């Protein structure tokens, strides 16, 4: 590599902070920018504002090493970097299916007027089809340098594995309009490409679509097995064995076939909804109408979980003490966006159950989004005198519970395994009424 490009990362939320830190780990000099000064101050102090394994250590290492800095100034970022990554969020618009594009539009509009030399701007945010072309126009209209170029490079990182997914991605997708843009991007990911990562070079429209298509497929796979779980519940079959058996077929594969409470988080639910909305605008709604069903199957699992608990409590939650184990949308994360666990906990609270929630990492975020629930600081406190236990997020701490030991803490030995991670035989042998989704 000749002189490696210097990078800016605009938006230091989940994606941006991880990307900034990992690009320094890969050998680049990076400046991270956010309009939220409080967030920038925390990052400068070496503090990661969310839970993500490995990231805090890497952040400290690179701040101390002097190759990573942070700013709130677009002028400073523009002065510094040859390649700018736009990593701001595209959350679901309140009351609509569509994505909120305000942050993406603001990032491009704020950066462009400072671009006085030929640089590459790279969109990483998950966006509806057609966004890249619009943002290219913004750059052409607002950047003083007429040669500024755009590329689209979607990000596929999973929470909990964000660092590894960024350092060693499954693939790199490069949506470009020129040879120069492709070469710049290749120089920006040189160590990743040298490690053998496949590169798929595309146009803008394909690059935008890759991300939503991937997430739609994953959501569909989960909802498929959860639909099978519904069938299992009436036929007496076991969905976990079914998943093992069909998963041995390499064409199907066992990953993402875990039936249970279904998917949540900041990506899968909002991405399939935004896709439905955009397809509608483009007049191809029929092509993705199945995603409505994927969404409904997913949401039905939550209602079913509440009903199973009702069964165990003879038809009423009123006055029952309910231990809700888990608040995060998945383990190894403190993210509670669209969390199935919190949805179930609040549905039970609405039915007048006394719900006590425990999560190893997500309590602080959960309290903010669901202040109506009661939170405790330990598993033991949650289980204390419980009439029923719900396992809602499959943290190791819950998977490793000993049925005999926790049985001594509760008032009644009722458990609903919302993630199919406990051994029914073992729990029943210890005197528990064990119920799960899609499993006898
Ligand atoms: C997802 C995609 O995996 C990632 O590639 C994309 O960039 C962002 O969205 P993430 O939201 O971090 O990542 O979580 P993921 O591990 O995909 O899990 C999503 C949800 O599906 C979780 O709620 C999880 O509990 C659920 N899930 C996952 C299942 O219910 N069953 C499974 O078999 C797998």
Q: Dump the DSSP string for 330-356.
A: SSS----TT-HHHHHHHHHHHTT-EEE
State the sign of the Cα–Cα–Cα–Cα dihedral 250, 251, 254, 255: positive
Neighbour-count burial for 114-153, b at 16+ CB within 10 Å, e otherwise: bbeeebbbbbbbbbbbebbeebbebbeebbeeeebbbbbb
- Among the three residues 244, 261, 294, which one is the final residue of a domain in this structure? 294
The predicted structure's pLDDT at residue 422: 98
Q: What is the Cα 178 distance to its own chain's centre?
A: 32
Query: Domain for residue 2, yes or no?
Result: no
Q: Are residues 259 and 321 in the same domain?
A: no
CA of 213 to the centre of ligand 1 (A): 14
Q: Are residues 179 and 319 in the same domain?
A: no
State the sign of the Cα–Cα–Cα–Cα dihedral 128, 334, 327, 370: negative
Q: Are residues 236 and 333 in the same domain?
A: no
Judged against a pLDDT cut of 80, whether residue 1 lies above it is answered with no
Query: Domain for residue 1, yes or no?
Result: no
Judged against a pLDDT cut of 80, whether residue 236 lies above it is answered with yes
Write down the mean pLDDT value for the chain. Answer: 97
Strand partners, 436: 417
Q: Are residues 278 and 341 in the same domain?
A: no
pTM of the model: 0.95
Residue nearest to atom 34 of ligand 1 (CA): 256
Q: Are residues 239 and 351 in the same domain?
A: no
- Among the three residues 275, 294, 313, which one is the final residue of a domain in this structure? 294
Count of other CB atoms within 10 angstroms of residue 281: 12
Q: Are residues 81 and 226 in the same domain?
A: no
* Active site amino acids: 267
Q: Which atom of ligand 1 is nearest to the CA of 267?
A: 9
- Among the three residues 244, 272, 294, which one is the final residue of a domain in this structure? 294
Give the neighbor-by-neighbor strand order of the sheet with 149-152: 68-71, 30-33, 7-10, 83-86, 120-123, 149-152, 172-176, 199-202
Give the neighbor-by-neighbor strand order of the sheet with 354-358: 374-375, 354-358, 321-325, 388-391, 414-417, 433-436
Q: Are residues 218 and 190 in the same domain?
A: no
Query: Domain for residue 27, yes or no?
Result: yes
The predicted structure's pLDDT at residue 2: 74
The predicted structure's pLDDT at residue 22: 98
Q: pLDDT tens digits for 81-131? A: 999 999 999 999 999 999 999 999 999 999 999 999 999 999 999 999 999
The predicted structure's pLDDT at residue 222: 98
In percent, the amount of the chain with pLDDT more than 90 equals 99
Q: Which atom of ligand 1 is nearest to the CA of 165?
A: 5
Q: Which domain holds residue 253?
A: 212-294
Q: Tell how many helices (H) and how many strands (E) occur in the chain.
A: 19, 14
The predicted structure's pLDDT at residue 146: 97
Judged against a pLDDT cut of 70, whether residue 399 lies above it is answered with yes
Q: Are residues 179 and 111 in the same domain?
A: yes
Q: Are residues 243 and 335 in the same domain?
A: no
CA of 313 to the centre of ligand 1 (A): 31
Q: Which atom of ligand 1 is nearest to the CA of 126?
A: 7
Cβ of 263 closer than 6 Å to ligand 1, yes or no, is yes
Q: Are residues 109 and 194 in the same domain?
A: yes
Q: Are residues 285 and 323 in the same domain?
A: no
Q: Are residues 56 and 185 in the same domain?
A: yes
Cβ of 161 closer than 6 Å to ligand 1, yes or no, is no
The predicted structure's pLDDT at residue 239: 98
Count of domains observed in the chain? 3
Query: Domain for residue 189, yes or no?
Result: yes
Query: Domain for residue 268, yes or no?
Result: yes
Instruction: Give, for ligand 1, the residue of 126, 222, 302 to mutate: max count of ligand atoms closer than 8 Å to Cβ.
Output: 222
Query: Domain for residue 349, yes or no?
Result: yes
Q: pLDDT tens digits for 293-351? A: 999 999 999 999 999 999 999 999 999 999 999 999 999 999 999 999 999 999 999 99
Mean pLDDT of 270-299: 97
Q: Is 156 exposed, middle or buried (0-12, 13-18, 19+ CB in 10 A)?
A: middle
The predicted structure's pLDDT at residue 402: 98
Residue 121 sits in a domain whose CATH number is 3.40.50.720
DSSP 224-278: HHHHHHHHHHHHT--HHHHHHHHHTSTTT-STT---SS---SSSHHHHHHHHHHH
**Predicted confidence band of residue 248 (pLDDT cuts 50, 70, 90):** very high
Q: Is 275 exposed, middle or buried (0-12, 13-18, 19+ CB in 10 A)?
A: buried
CA of 298 to the centre of ligand 1 (A): 13
> How far apart are alpha carbons 415 and 369 in whole angstroms?
26
């Amino acid at each position: 590599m000749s002189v490696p490009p210097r990078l800016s990362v605009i938006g230091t939320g989940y994606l941006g902070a991880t990307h900034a830190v990992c690009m320094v780990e890969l050998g680049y000099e990076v400046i991270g920018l956010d309009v939220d000064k409080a967030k920038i101050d925390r990052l400068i102090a070496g503090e990661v504002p969310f839970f993500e394994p490995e990231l805090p250590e890497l952040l400290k290492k690179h701040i101390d090493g002097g190759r990573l800095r942070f700013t709130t100034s677009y002028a400073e970022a523009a002065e510094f970097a040859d390649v700018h990554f736009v990593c701001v969020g595209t959350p679901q618009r309140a009351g609509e299916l569509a994505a909120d594009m305000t942050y993406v539009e603001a990032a491009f509009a704020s950066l462009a007027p400072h671009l006085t030399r030929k640089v590459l701007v790279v969109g990483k945010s998950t966006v509806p089809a057609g966004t890249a072309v619009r943002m290219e126009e913004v750059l052409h209209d607002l950047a003083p340098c007429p040669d500024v170029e755009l590329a689209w490079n979607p990000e596929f990182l999973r929470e909990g594995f964000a660092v590894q997914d960024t350092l060693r991605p499954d693939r790199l997708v490069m949506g470009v309009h020129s040879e120069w843009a492709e070469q710049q991007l290749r120089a920006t990911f040189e160590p990743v490409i040298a490690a053998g990562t496949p590169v798929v070079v595309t146009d803008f429209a394909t690059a935008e679509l890759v991300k939503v298509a991937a997430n739609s497929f994953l959501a569909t796979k989960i909802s498929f097995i959860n639909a099978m779980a519904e069938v299992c519940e009436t036929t007496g079959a076991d969905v976990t064995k079914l998943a093992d058996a069909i998963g041995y077929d390499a064409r199907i594969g066992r990953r993402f076939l875990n039936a249970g409470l279904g998917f949540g988080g900041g990506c899968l639910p909002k991405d399939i909804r935004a896709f439905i909305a955009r397809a509608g605008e483009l007049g191809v709604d029929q092509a993705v109408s199945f995603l409505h069903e994927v969404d409904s199957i997913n949401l039905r699992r939550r209602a079913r979980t509440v009903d199973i608990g009702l069964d165990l409590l003879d038809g009423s939650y009123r006055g029952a003490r309910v231990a809700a184990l888990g608040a995060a949308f998945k383990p190894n994360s403190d993210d509670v966006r669209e969390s199935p666990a919190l949805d179930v906990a609040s549905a039970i609270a609405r039915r007048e159950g006394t719900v006590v929630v425990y999560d190893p990492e997500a309590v602080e975020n959960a309290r903010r989004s669901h202040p109506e629930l009661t939170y405790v600081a330990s598993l033991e406190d949650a289980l204390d005198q419980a009439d029923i236990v719900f396992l809602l997020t499959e943290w190791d701490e819950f998977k490793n519970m000993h049925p005999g030991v926790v049985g001594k803490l509760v008032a009644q030995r009722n458990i609903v395994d919302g993630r199919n991670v406990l051994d029914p035989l073992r729990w029943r042998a210890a005197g528990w009424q064990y119920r799960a989704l899609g499993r006898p």
